[in-house]
Structure 1
Amino acid sequence: MKVFKVVCICTIYVLMIMGTRPTVSLFAHELGASINHIGLITSLFSIIPLLFAIPLGKKIDHLNSKITLLLGGYLGVLGIVLPGFFPNFLGLYLSQLIAGSAQTVLILSAQDYIGRISTKKNRNQYVSWFSFGVAVGTLAGPLFSGIIADLFSFQITFLILAGIGFISCIIIHLVPNEYPIKSKKSPIPTSKTKSTFVDLLKIPSLRLALLFSALILFAKDIYLTFFPLLGLQFGYSNSTIGLLLAINGIASVIIRFYLAPITNRFGTFNVFIGSMIISCVAYIALPFFPQIVIACIIAFILGIGLGIGQPLSISLTIDNAINGRVAEALGIRLTVNRLTQVITPAIFGILANLIGLIYIFLVSSTVIALGTGIAGHNKNNRKTDVMEDSRVKSI
């Protein structure tokens, strides 16, 4: 079945990518980088996607799926293998730039592929399977890389992860090609000029999906970038840090099995709000409990919060995109995500040097709470507008 092949590809590919995210921070620390330098290095992962995700998504809408999947796959392997052959800052810089760009190409292509082979009826199910595969790769990657780094070295870890990523490239060759969907007329009135991504941003529910996606990625990137450094302060080994990141990923996988009944009962928006509240509480507790058992519990709770939002934001983006422009809408989502991932480690790395690593997690909790409040306010305003419109029509 097509969808399971894509899920398998993304699981292996994400394992490779996510295995390197904490490894980059720890390897840079071993090379003598300061916290703000580490923040700048990790921000390079998202700098090129930030600039080109929207035009890239627009291009993917008009290309055969297999071309872009193969491009993202092989380019990602190239990026990850570089620090293995060049174990220095230059190798890390180039690796982050190439791997970040490649991941954007592959994930955008995979999400668009899901959009092409799915219908309105089974789309949430397909996206749920896709997100499940990503979550499995997310939990397995850090655990695997932590064990390999303890057994061998960071240099060997990059080489082994690149070898694993190469397997996903082989599977891509077995995936049937899907041709572009013909674009239909936009339901939103446009001028005679060429359509732009601004047309998509006029959709209120799409804007809300983008805001939630940014909040989730912000919380996730803080954890992946700075928790390994906090773990070193607590005296954890690389394997222990990898284990805690894996527990976080396990929670994200488990919660996906209950996502459909939860959203059916409480509604998508309320579930989003709940997931953000859970994340806020976890971030407040995280720096004050270095005991390994309590740290595992906090990592699991945080994984539940972060695991809920990501698949829902993808589904909302696909559902609210104009038909034939799904990849472009997903490109906008990725641009917002990458902007978050560029700003977050760079600014918070500098902030960590000023106020200390522990307080970074408290500031992060405040940012998540403010963003959630803004989303709730906008949602309430939309409800009020709809009620007023219905009253006017009834007069």
Structure 2
Amino acid sequence: MKFASFFIAVFFVLASVSAVRPMTSLFAKELDASMIEIGIITVCYSVTPLFLAVFAGRYIDQFGEKLPIIAGSICMFISLALPFYFPSIATLYISMLLLGGGQLLAILAIQNGVTKSASNETRDKAVGTLSLFTSTGLLFGPLIGGYVSEHFGFQTSYILLAVIPIITIIVSFFVAKTEKGASKGKQGKSANVKELLLLPGLGRSIFVSMLILSSLDIYSVYFPLYGQSIGLSVSQIGWVLAVQGAASALVRIIMPKLVEAYGRVTILWIFMGIGALAYGFIPFQDQFSIILIVSFIIGAGLGITLPLTIILSYNAAPPGRSGEVLGLRLASNRLAQTIVPFLLAYVSSFVGLGIIFVIKSVLLLSGSLTARGISDDVQEVEEDEREKAI
């Protein structure tokens, strides 16, 4: 199967990231980091992709996916090994910078390889399956990170988890080169970032993606701190994050059928609204069982939305520039991940952690309304063709 290596690679990339990032905020707290310092550590993960994503996308458009996946995996390995040998807050800054850059290279190459290789008819299924493997990685990552850190301590956990990127490096050698011209035809007319954002549907898709990913990011980083504040154990926190990942995986199994029945945009804004409401409910509960249910709803609501923004962004891309557009999407996501955690860390230092979830809930609801206006030209063409055939 031509997508198999991409699917396996994305599992290990996301498993390692989702295992380490929640653990890092707790390790930073153990090292006596302030909330502001934890916010900066969180931001560091997004800084490197913010500046490199568009350039990385252009490189992938020209030279393919294999080398970026290998290079990204090596960066991730180094980022996980550093805190074991040099346990300090300063090292965590460097570690997150490398982790963010490595994850960017690998994920961008994987996303472009899958979307470029699939036809219009099979793209929803291909991206849905990719997202299923992504969710599975997000499911097992927090569980692995929670149990390893609870039994071996935070510092030792880093070197144990560094094994995962090594597996990704091995898998990446089996990535097949995508066909020339598969990326929507010949290289399109050059356009700057501003012109790309003005393309029909692309600006809104990227904005919505920014809100969704920053919300999931905030959840993975700040829920461990909130969970600890209400008396949850590290393994219980891991289960809450794992349940969210499991819900994302389950809902992505049925994503192609839902899209076929109701359309990408409709599914996007409705599920985003559901996730937003659940997100805002978090600070009003301290029972582990209830939080698990709420986390499941968040995972189901927001889990189906990210792959849809990938498809919508790809469909809006000019010919031959899918990697660049997906890179722009990732750069925008990282911009949100850079600004939002730092601002919310500052706010939480005055009003507490719970208000973070309420603020993000309101932002997600506004994004749900924005998503209703997204234009999906490819799907509209396909629907017109089906109507004519009938």
| Common topology (TM > 0.5) | yes
Q: Which moved more, 1:59-68 or 1:285-294?
A: 59-68
Shift of 1:349: 0.4
Counterpart residue identity of residue 250, structure 1: A
1:197 aligned to which of 186, 193, 196: 193
Please name the residue that 2:231 is paired with: 235
Shift of 1:120: 1.9
* 2:357 equivalent to 1:361: yes
* 2:302 equivalent to 1:306: yes
1:291 aligned to which of 287, 290, 296: 287
Q: Distance in 2 between matches of 1:221 and 1:15?
A: 14
Shift of 1:179: 5.7
Question: Structure 2 length normalisation: TM-score?
Answer: 0.92
Please name the residue that 1:7 is paired with: 7
* 2:250 equivalent to 1:254: yes
Say which SS state the counterpart of residue 184 (structure 1) adopts. Answer: coil
Q: Distance in 2 between matches of 1:64 and 1:300?
A: 36
* 2:135 equivalent to 1:135: yes
Please name the residue that 1:392 is paired with: none
Q: Is the 8 A contact 1:139 1:249 kept in 2?
A: yes
Counterpart residue identity of residue 359, structure 2: V
Q: Is the 8 A contact 2:208 2:370 kept in 1?
A: no
Q: Distance in 2 between matches of 1:173 and 1:371?
A: 39
Q: Distance in 2 between matches of 1:116 and 1:330?
A: 11
Q: Is the 8 A contact 2:136 2:249 kept in 1?
A: yes
Shift of 1:374: 3.6
Q: Distance in 1 between matches of 2:276 and 2:179?
A: 42
Question: Structure 1 length normalisation: TM-score?
Answer: 0.91
* Structure 2 stretches lacking a partner, 5+ long: 378-390
String of CA shifts for 1:49-95, please: whole Å, max 9, x gaps. Answer: 11121122112111132211211111111112211211111221111
Say which SS state the counterpart of residue 62 (structure 2) adopts. Answer: coil
Aligned residues between the structures:
374
Please name the residue that 2:380 is paired with: none
Please name the residue that 1:149 is paired with: 149
Shift of 1:115: 3.0
String of CA shifts for 1:2-58, please: whole Å, max 9, x gaps. Answer: 201110011012101111110111111111112222111111001111112112211
Counterpart residue identity of residue 41, structure 1: I
| Change over 3 Å in CA distance of 1:75–1:379 after alignment to 2 | closer
| Change over 3 Å in CA distance of 1:180–1:87 after alignment to 2 | farther
Please name the residue that 1:171 is paired with: 171
String of CA shifts for 1:125-177, please: whole Å, max 9, x gaps. Answer: 21111111111101110111000111111112111111122111111112233
Please name the residue that 2:108 is paired with: 108
Please name the residue that 1:62 is paired with: 62
Say which SS state the counterpart of residue 369 (structure 1) adopts. Answer: helix
Counterpart residue identity of residue 47, structure 1: V
Q: Distance in 2 between matches of 1:216 and 1:180?
A: 32
Question: What are the equivalent positions in structure 2 for 1:374-385 lying under 5 Å apart?
Answer: 374-376=370-372, 378-379=373-374
1:330 aligned to which of 326, 347, 353: 326
2:275 aligned to which of 279, 296, 300: 279
Q: Distance in 1 between matches of 2:90 and 2:26?
A: 16
Q: Distance in 1 between matches of 2:363 and 2:68?
A: 35
Cα RMSD after superposing both structures: 1.8
Please name the residue that 1:385 is paired with: none
* 2:337 equivalent to 1:341: yes
| Change over 3 Å in CA distance of 1:64–1:266 after alignment to 2 | closer
* Structure 1 stretches lacking a partner, 5+ long: 383-395
Divergent runs of 4+, >4 A: none
Q: Which moved more, 1:214-223 or 1:97-106?
A: 214-223
Please name the residue that 1:98 is paired with: 98
Counterpart residue identity of residue 257, structure 1: I
Q: Which moved more, 1:116-125 or 1:73-82?
A: 116-125
Q: Which moved more, 1:330-339 or 1:205-214?
A: 205-214
| Change over 3 Å in CA distance of 1:297–1:108 after alignment to 2 | same
Q: Distance in 1 between matches of 2:12 and 2:118?
A: 22
Say which SS state the counterpart of residue 204 (structure 1) adopts. Answer: coil
Q: Which moved more, 1:69-78 or 1:102-111?
A: 69-78
Shift of 1:258: 1.4
Q: Which moved more, 1:36-45 or 1:170-179?
A: 170-179
Say which SS state the counterpart of residue 120 (structure 1) adopts. Answer: coil
Shift of 1:304: 0.5
Q: Is the 8 A contact 1:219 1:279 kept in 2?
A: no
Counterpart residue identity of residue 291, structure 1: Q
Q: Distance in 1 between matches of 2:45 and 2:130?
A: 22
Shift of 1:266: 2.4
Q: Is the 8 A contact 2:187 2:320 kept in 1?
A: no
Shift of 1:185: 6.0
Q: Distance in 1 between matches of 2:180 and 2:70?
A: 16
Question: Which structure is larger by alpha-carbon Rg, 1 or 2?
Answer: 1
Q: Which moved more, 1:269-278 or 1:146-155?
A: 269-278
Say which SS state the counterpart of residue 177 (structure 1) adopts. Answer: coil
Please name the residue that 1:184 is paired with: 186
Shift of 1:320: 1.7
Counterpart residue identity of residue 227, structure 1: F
Q: Which moved more, 1:323-332 or 1:57-66?
A: 57-66
Q: Is the 8 A contact 2:205 2:374 kept in 1?
A: no
Q: Is the 8 A contact 1:76 1:103 kept in 2?
A: yes
Shift of 1:184: 2.4
Please name the residue that 1:26 is paired with: 26
Q: Is the 8 A contact 1:197 1:328 kept in 2?
A: no
1:263 aligned to which of 238, 259, 263: 259
Q: Distance in 2 between matches of 1:167 and 1:87?
A: 24
